[in-house]
Amino acid sequence: MKNMTKIDPKQIDENVIRLIGSQWMLVTAGNPAHFNTMTASWGGLGFLWNRPVAFVFIRPQRYTFQFAEENSGLTLSFFGEEYRDALKICGSRSGRDTNKVAEAGLTPEPTPGGNVAFGEASLVLECRKLYAEMLRPEAFALPGILEQWYPTGDLHKMYVVEIVNVWRR
């Protein structure tokens, strides 16, 4: 990754609740020749199965879903506030219909693992899939969550991914 320093996942010291929930991230799957990205504000980072992990959620109707399904890896790219408009474009347009990466003014860069991240990102996590499962209505334990977030039944698929490389600007 150009102009970035590789760090150990244990050196990620940002507040991940703010990083994901407020600043958002781009989830990108595919390869440099054919990929898609989407804005996400749901997910998390942690430690599971003796590995640093992230978990992300993608609805099957999102174009990025097919890329996540077809590939073993994905990236999570985080940006400064000056890229808010670019993230809005990537979250409101479909890669099926437009080149939203170009429209957002972002520069795709290949990663050593054959994935895609963005040159403008301040933090990039390159990940490989460990586990994936569709959310199930019967598994929701807190009343109201299913009705509030999935009124039409369009549940996400959850991906638990191992963080294999991290770069920081």
pLDDT digits (tens, 9 = 90+) for 69-100: 999 999 999 999 999 999 999 999 999 999 99
Domains, the chain, in order of start with CATH, read 5-168 (2.30.110.10)
Name the region of 161 (left: φ>0; alpha: ψ -120 to 50; beta: rest).
beta
Residues 6 or more apart whose CB falls under 8 angstroms from that of 34 comprise: 67
pLDDT digits (tens, 9 = 90+) for 24-43: 999 999 999 999 999 999 99
**Is the model's pLDDT at 2 over the cut of 90?**
no
Q: Which stretches within the chain are classed as H helix?
A: 16-21, 63-70, 84-92, 100-104, 145-149
CB 118 within 8 A of CB 76: no
pLDDT digits (tens, 9 = 90+) for 51-71: 999 999 999 999 999 999 999
